[in-house]
């Protein structure tokens, strides 16, 4: 796609035109079609290998390319992307698509990298985002969300009118990357076919002409058989499968509690589409994302995904998540996630590759090497004692795919009788293999192999193929040759025999064996036989095979020189298979010699050491002047509403729900005035914050205490409220008879519930105070204040309404010279700590930096972390188990001065743990 764009630019430049933005109507057009087997582009069958990526969880557009290149290097040919309405719209009618919201840039980057996009604009997206992607202002719009009610319809039409034209001009049909358009999300209960149909009609009217899909959850039949081809049915129904569930604490013991993970075929005329296939997990029980990575680790990935390939015949997959990212600001839905959305994915939140990534790469390269897999039917599979088997065959080529799966936890050794051959097979516990027979491998014919195919390449006048199997297990490969070929074993131990037009190689998978097969009227074949690890040490990017780097981003060959863009995590040897004599890496020439395998061999340097400054010289300033009776709140909003659209009935009047007054993110302050009697003994206050929230209470400037905010995530919540304990004792003498008393309450709203079941009440559930009374007092008059203004760069979800946030204390330009240097003890209430630090990271190197809090996670206070004004996380025992907070380039100035501001909200006097900077990974190279 990149080359095409460059060519187009040249053509247009010659014609005196310029290319503005993405592909225009003049760009090459392609046809996207499908049948029961697969998607097709210009009639060519396509195996869609997609990884989910949320641009809104990486507030650094320059790093989007890094993730996309890493996905592509693992063999993916697509990304699947939710577009978050809430992220772009802070208020009705207001939309922002600039900076970190520049989705046009995202789609352009996908085009440049060469990845298709499955576009998922919702309007409802779930995804553990606040409100499931609904902007909080939608809570004040009448009409049931996710239905065809008028108010909601007008609101989502506004969103689609903004996002659809962007997606439309980036469609494959117009020379762009958008291949599929996904409406809604797991819309399975409380459904309204007219709404589902209108989403599609609106998309079509807006110029969407690629196939429309949706992701079904719990009732996979919903948008097909129930409504047939009637209203709401989509062309290609997708199905979500999460066989390992989300109980990360059970990693290592749990196995498929949510089913076999075999994607259902929903429509006879459409391919099987695994729209979300589990590739990680949310951390429901605070086990930490490493546990989630283990729950969905290499074993799971092999067993379930390979099983699904053969058992379901799916030819379109999207793995959720490929890279999770960060719930920065108030993006997250608080009941299921904390700041990190690492997800235990193959690429970590700090953008590092894991062992799981290597497994995705093994599977991804395999899928790329076997085009016949795009059209298969189930076929009879040979039985193998002790193992599960299943098979599919391509009716045109006769290529067969045979699944061998070991459901036991221990290794199984058996015999496979397959197409007239007898092979020994050994499979480790919970492992799976997809074997291939009758496949054209470049100039060779693979008859059968008990090794898995990793990848193939055609450097110059020969073929290279890499096969692999678990270390120490037997392998055999049979190739067809009309006469005996010449066999040269370059490395390793391999025995060869020839009979009846077939060459059979027998070996034990170990290290990397290399066999050169030539003569017999074929192109020479370099066959490499490896293990999981030695196979995965190869990169096959843009047709160039490379071993020894930690990543290859792209490769090109011009005039006998192969130019790689590649990363190295350490110094070491590099080996390149290409039709070239010279090598450059990241623009630098690399001296090479030609090795025994006729490859180029050289040595590459690793990254330089990185020094990060200590964080010192903290300055401190306490705030919360709102707690003082004399504080001037004359410009605050009067809270006097008596009704709301929430199904939650307020415990007292007036309605104090913060969204009703336009305050949607983070902290909200309330000040209530009443005339004292002198007999007050108790203040009763209830708040709903979503999980992990709290509220702090002052009366006449005296701190009365704090409570955990109510959590109303359950569907029966509206009738079963539990908005916190909410009773605070009034010290004698604090309230004077006949005098005005002032109640000040700071509520930490954590974000909105999702609307997963389309029942409206969950998502509309209030945030902020829901009940406030002082027994003996007839009336309290209220004022409310939240976020002062939408940050034009960082957006509406970045800030709440703390005094320091309203006064710019989080911003790098704020002048804190008058602030004293102070210790780390803080009183109850809100205290800010600020410091500056210089960073100068090595050039031509990708260093990922994070902030780490050492020691036990404190209770009693929470910390909002602002880096150069970007709200990059929340830390504290009430929040979650997270101690490392990624500081992405962009928010982090990599060559310059940075400002770190910590807003400490303390329920009691505390000594704050201050963090330090750490290197979360460093490689020479980078995007």
Q: Which residues are near ligand IPT by CB under 6 A?
A: 126-128, 185-186, 215, 217, 240, 242, 276, 282
Nearer to ligand IPT, 690 or 869 (CB): 690
- Give least dist CB 888 to ligand IPT, A: 21
Dihedral pair phi/psi, residue 664, rounded to 5°: -110, -20
Q: How far apart are CA 363 and CA 452, in angstroms?
A: 10
Tokens found for residue 228: 């047939």
The residue nearest ligand IPT at its CB is 126
Nearer to ligand IPT, 494 or 797 (CB): 797
Nearer to ligand IPT, 217 or 436 (CB): 217
Half-sphere exposure of 430 (CA within 13 A, CB side): 14
Nearer to ligand IPT, 275 or 505 (CB): 275
| DSSP, res 91 | B
Nearer to ligand IPT, 281 or 448 (CB): 281
- Give least dist CB 902 to ligand IPT, A: 29
- Give least dist CB 308 to ligand IPT, A: 16
- Give least dist CB 282 to ligand IPT, A: 5
Nearer to ligand IPT, 262 or 517 (CB): 262
Helix (H) or strand (E) holding 551: strand 551-558
Would you tell me how many other CB atoms lie within 10 Å of the CB of residue 610? 17
Q: How far apart are CA 788 and CA 799, in angstroms?
A: 9
- Give least dist CB 754 to ligand IPT, A: 8
- Give least dist CB 57 to ligand IPT, A: 12
Nearest one of 468, 472, 241 to 362, comparing CA atoms: 468
- Give least dist CB 85 to ligand IPT, A: 14
Nearer to ligand IPT, 280 or 812 (CB): 280
Nearest one of 658, 635, 636, 638 to 140, comparing CA atoms: 658
Alpha-carbon separation of residue 906 from 316, 833, 864, 910 (angstroms)? 49, 13, 11, 7
Tokens found for residue 673: 């005035």
Asked if residues 429 and 457 have their Cβ atoms less than 8 Å apart, the reply is no
| DSSP, res 907 | S
Dihedral pair phi/psi, residue 604, rounded to 5°: -115, 145
- Give least dist CB 257 to ligand IPT, A: 13
> Which single residue is written with the structure tokens 């459904």?
191
Contacts 24+ apart (CB under 8 A), 657-661: 657/766, 657/767, 657/768, 657/769, 657/770, 658/747, 658/749, 658/766, 658/767, 658/768, 658/769, 658/784, 658/786, 659/136, 659/137, 659/139, 659/140, 659/766, 659/767, 659/768, 660/140, 661/637, 661/784, 661/786
Asked if residues 575 and 594 have their Cβ atoms less than 8 Å apart, the reply is no
- Give least dist CB 133 to ligand IPT, A: 9
Nearer to ligand IPT, 103 or 217 (CB): 217
Asked if residues 536 and 358 have their Cβ atoms less than 8 Å apart, the reply is yes
Nearer to ligand IPT, 215 or 394 (CB): 215
- Give least dist CB 213 to ligand IPT, A: 13
Rounded (5°) CA angle 851-857-858: 115
- Give least dist CB 458 to ligand IPT, A: 40
The three-state (H, E, C) secondary structure of 803-869, written as one string? HHHHCCCCCCCCCCCCCCECCCEECCEEEEEEEEEEEECCCCEEEEEEEECCCCCCCCEEEEEEECC
Residues 6 or more apart from 17 whose CB is under 8 A from it? none
Nearer to ligand IPT, 243 or 915 (CB): 243
- Give least dist CB 261 to ligand IPT, A: 12
- Give least dist CB 592 to ligand IPT, A: 46
Q: Three-state SS for 769?
A: strand
Nearest one of 439, 414, 445 to 427, comparing CA atoms: 414
Nearest one of 213, 1, 207 to 107, comparing CA atoms: 1
Nearer to ligand IPT, 217 or 668 (CB): 217
- Give least dist CB 612 to ligand IPT, A: 33
- Give least dist CB 666 to ligand IPT, A: 22
Characterize the bridge pairing of strands 667-675 and 825-826. unpaired
Nearer to ligand IPT, 79 or 555 (CB): 79
Beta strands in 394-537 (DSSP E): 400-405, 412-418, 421-427, 432-441, 444-449, 452-457, 463-468, 474-480, 486-491, 494-499, 502-508, 512-518, 525-530
Q: How far apart are CA 550 and CA 73, in angstroms?
A: 11
- Give least dist CB 81 to ligand IPT, A: 12
Nearer to ligand IPT, 1 or 282 (CB): 282
Dihedral pair phi/psi, residue 359, rounded to 5°: -70, -40
């Amino acid at each position: 796609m990149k080359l095409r764009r460059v060519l187009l630019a040249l053509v247009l430049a010659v014609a005196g035109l310029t290319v503005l933005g993405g592909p225009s109507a003049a760009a090459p057009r392609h046809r996207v079609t499908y049948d029961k087997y697969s998607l097709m582009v210009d009639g060519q069958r396509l195996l869609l290998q997609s990884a989910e990526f949320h641009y809104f969880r990486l507030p650094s557009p320059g790093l989007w390319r890094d993730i996309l290149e890493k996905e592509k290097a693992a063999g993916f040919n697509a990304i699947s992307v939710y577009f978050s309405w809430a992220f772009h719209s802070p208020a009705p009618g207001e939309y922002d698509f600039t900076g970190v919201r520049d989705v046009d840039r995202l789609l352009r980057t996908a085009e440049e990298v060469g990845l298709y996009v499955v576009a998922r604009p919702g309007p409802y997206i779930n995804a553990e985002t606040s409100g499931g992607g609904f902007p909080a202002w939608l809570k004040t719009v009448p009409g049931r969300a996710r239905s065809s009610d008028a108010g909601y319809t007008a609101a989502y039409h506004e969103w689609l009118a903004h996002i659809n034209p962007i997606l439309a001009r980036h469609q494959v049909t117009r020379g762009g990357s958008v291949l599929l358009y996904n409406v809604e999300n797991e819309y399975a209960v409380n459904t309204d076919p007219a709404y589902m149909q209108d989403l599609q009609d609106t998309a079509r009217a807006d110029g969407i002409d690629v196939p429309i899909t949706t992701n079904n959850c719990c009732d996979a039949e919903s948008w097909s058989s129930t409504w047939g081809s009637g209203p709401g049915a989509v062309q290609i129904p997708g199905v979500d499968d999460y066989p390992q569930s989300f109980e990360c604490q059970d990693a290592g013991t749990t196995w498929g509690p949510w089913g076999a993970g075999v994607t259902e075929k929903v429509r006879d005329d459409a391919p099987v589409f695994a729209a979300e296939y589990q590739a990680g997990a949310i951390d429901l029980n605070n086990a930490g994302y490493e546990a989630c990575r283990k729950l969905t680790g290499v074993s799971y990935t092999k067993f379930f995904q390979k099983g699904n390939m053969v058992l379901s015949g799916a030819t379109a997959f999207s793995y959720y998540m490929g890279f999770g990212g960060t719930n920065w600001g108030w993006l997250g839905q608080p009941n299921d996630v904390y700041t990190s959305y690492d997800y235990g994915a193959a690429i970590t939140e700090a953008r590092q590759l894991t062992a799981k990534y290597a497994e995705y790469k093994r599977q991804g390269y395999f899928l790329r090497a076997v085009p016949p897999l795009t059209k298969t039917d189930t076929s009879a599979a040979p039985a193998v004692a002790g193992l599960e088997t299943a098979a599919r065959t391509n009716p045109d080529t006769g290529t067969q795919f045979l699944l061998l799966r070991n459901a036991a936890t221990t290794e199984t050794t058996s015999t496979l009788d397959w197409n007239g051959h007898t092979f020994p097979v050994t499979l480790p516990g919970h492992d799976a293999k997809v074997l291939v027979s009758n496949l054209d491998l470049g100039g060779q014919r693979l008859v059968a192999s008990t090794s898995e195919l990793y990848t193939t390449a055609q450097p110059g006048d020969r073929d290279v193929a890499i096969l692999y199997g678990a270390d120490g297990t037997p392998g055999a490969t049979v190739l067809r040759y009309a006469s005996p070929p010449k066999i040269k074993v370059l490395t390793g131990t391999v025995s060869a025999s020839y009979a009846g037009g077939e060459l059979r190689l027998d070996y034990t998978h170990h290290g990397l064996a290399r066999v050169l097969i030539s003569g017999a009227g074929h192109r020479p074949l370099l066959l490499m036989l490896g293990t999981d690890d030695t196979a995965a040490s190869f990169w096959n990017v843009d047709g160039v095979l490379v071993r020894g780097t930690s990543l290859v981003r792209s490769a090109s060959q011009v005039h006998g020189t192969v130019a790689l863009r590649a990363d190295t995590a350490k110094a070491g040897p590099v080996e390149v298979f290409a039709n070239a004599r010279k090598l450059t890496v990241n623009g630098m020439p690399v001296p090479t010699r030609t090795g025994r395998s006729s490859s180029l061999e050289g040595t590459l340097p690793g990254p330089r050491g990185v020094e990060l400054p200590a964080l010192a010289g903290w300055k401190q300033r306490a705030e919360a002047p709102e707690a003082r009776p004399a504080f001037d709140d004359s410009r605050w909003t009067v809270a006097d509403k008596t009704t709301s659209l929430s199904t939650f009935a307020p415990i007292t009047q007036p309605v104090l729900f913060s969204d009703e007054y336009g305050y949607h993110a983070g902290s909200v302050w309330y000040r209530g005035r009443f005339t004292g009697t002198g007999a007050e003994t108790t203040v009763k206050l209830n708040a709903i914050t979503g999980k992990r929230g709290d509220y702090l209470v002052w009366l006449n400037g005296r701190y009365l205490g704090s409570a955990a905010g109510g959590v109303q995530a359950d569907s029966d919540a509206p009738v079963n409220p539990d908005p916190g304990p909410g009773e605070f004792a009034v010290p004698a003498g604090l309230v004077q008879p006949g005098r005005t008393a002032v109640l000040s309450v700071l509520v930490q709203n954590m974000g909105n519930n999702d609307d997963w079941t389309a029942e409206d009440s969950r998502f509309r559930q209030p945030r902020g105070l829901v009940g406030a009374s002082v027994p003996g007092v007839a009336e309290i008059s209220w004022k409310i204040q939240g976020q002062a203004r939408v940050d034009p760069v960082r957006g509406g979800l970045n800030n709440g309404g703390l005094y320091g946030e309203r006064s710019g204390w989080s911003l790098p330009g704020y002048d804190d010279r008058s602030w004293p240097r102070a210790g780390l003890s803080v009183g109850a209430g809100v205290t800010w700590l600020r410091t500056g630090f210089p960073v100068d990271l090595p050039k031509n190197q990708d260093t990922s930096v994070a902030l780490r809090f050492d020691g036990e996670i404190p209770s009693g206070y929470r910390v909002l972390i602002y880096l150069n004004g970007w709200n990059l996380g929340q830390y504290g025992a009430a929040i979650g188990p997270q101690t490392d907070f990624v500081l992405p380039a962009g928010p982090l100035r990599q060559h310059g001065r940075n400002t770190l501001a910590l807003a400490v909200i303390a329920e009691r006097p505390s000594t704050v743990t201050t963090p330090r900077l750490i290197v979360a990974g460093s490689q020479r190279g980078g995007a």
